[in-house]
Amino acid sequence: MSPATVPEVTTYRYVRGSLLALLLALAVSVALETLAHGWQTSISSYYYTAAGPVFIAALSAIGVCLIALRGGTDAEDVCLNLAGISAPMVAFVPTPEIGHVPDVPAITNNAATFLGVLAVGYVVVAFRLLRRPGGVGRWNLVGLGSVALAWAVGCAWLAIDRHSFAAHAHALAAIFTFVPFAGVVVLNTDWGVRVIAREGRVSRTRFDAAYWVVLVGMGAVCLVGLALWQWRYALVATEIGVLVLFAVFWVLQTIDLLDLRRDLA
C-alpha cells in the first residue's frame, strides 16, 4: 500500500469504527433508561425518555456514516445509502405514542431541513456520476432513482398533509432503514457479489458462512417477533435482535476488509 493511501484507509476505518461506537452509545443509553424506568415498547419509544437526545444524535450520525462509507460493490453502496438517508428521518419524526401529542411544526421544520440538504447532496452526487468516464452503472441508476423517488414522496407528503406525515413517516423510514441492512449482508456473501452485484468474482470473503448465519438469524428474529406480536415488547425485542446481528456482521466485515485497497479503488 502506498503512503498516499494511508490517510484514506485510516479515515475509512475510523468511520466504520464510529458506527459501532454510535450503536454502543445507543445501547448504553437505552439500557440505563430501562434500568431506571423499565422497558419501552420499541427503541423509537425511547425518544420520549431521558435517552431521547442520544437516540436522535446516534441515528443522525449513523445515517451520515452509512452514506459516507463506500460499499464494496455499487449494489452494496446503494443499500448503505438508502439506509443512511432513512435513519435520520427515523429520529426527526418520532413514533406516535399514546399520551404524546406530535409537535407537528418541529417535525415539519426538521423533515423539511433534511429533505432540503438531501436535495443538495443528490445534485452533487448525480453530477459526479454523470461525469464518470465509464458512465453511470446499473446500480448507480437504481440508487439515484430510489433516492429521487423517496425525496419526491417525502416532499409531497409533507406539503399535502403534515399531520399524516407526522403520524406515519416514522414507520416507513424505519422499514427503509432496516431492510437495506439485510441487503448489505446479502451483498457481502459470495453469492450476493457474483449473482446480485454481478462482480464476476469467484471468492470475495472468508466469512461467507458467517454472513449467511447472520442473515438467517435476522430472518428468524423477525419471524419470532411476528409470532409474538401480541406481546407488549415484541417490537423492541425484534429491533434489538436485528441490531445486535447487524453489529456482529459489521465487526466481521471490518475484519474482512482489513486490506482496504479494493474499497478505495
Q: Is the pLDDT of residue 4 over 70?
A: no
Question: Residue 121: what pLDDT?
Answer: 93
> Could you give the CA distance from residue 13 to residue 6 in angstroms, rounded to a whole number?
11
Q: What's the mean pLDDT when you consider all of the chain?
A: 90
Q: Is the pLDDT of residue 156 over 90?
A: yes
CB atoms within 10 A of CB 265: 6
Percent of the chain with pLDDT over 70: 93
- Mean pLDDT along residues 55-68: 95
**DSSP secondary structure string, 72-83?**
SSHHHHHHHHHH
Cα angle: 104, vertex 45, 107; to 5 degrees: 15
> Could you give the CA distance from residue 226 to residue 230 in angstroms, rounded to a whole number?
9
- Cell digits for 88? 435520520
Question: Residue 230: what pLDDT?
Answer: 94
- Cell digits for 92? 426527526
Q: Is the pLDDT of residue 136 over 90?
A: no
- Mean pLDDT along residues 71-76: 89
- Cell digits for 50? 431521558
Question: Residue 259: what pLDDT?
Answer: 56
Cβ 117 vs Cβ 95: under 8 Å: no
Q: Is the pLDDT of residue 184 over 70?
A: yes
Q: Is the pLDDT of residue 217 over 50?
A: yes
Q: Is the pLDDT of residue 201 over 70?
A: no
pLDDT-derived band at 249, boundaries 50, 70, 90 = very high
**Helix (H, G, I), strand (E, B), or coil: what is residue 265?**
coil
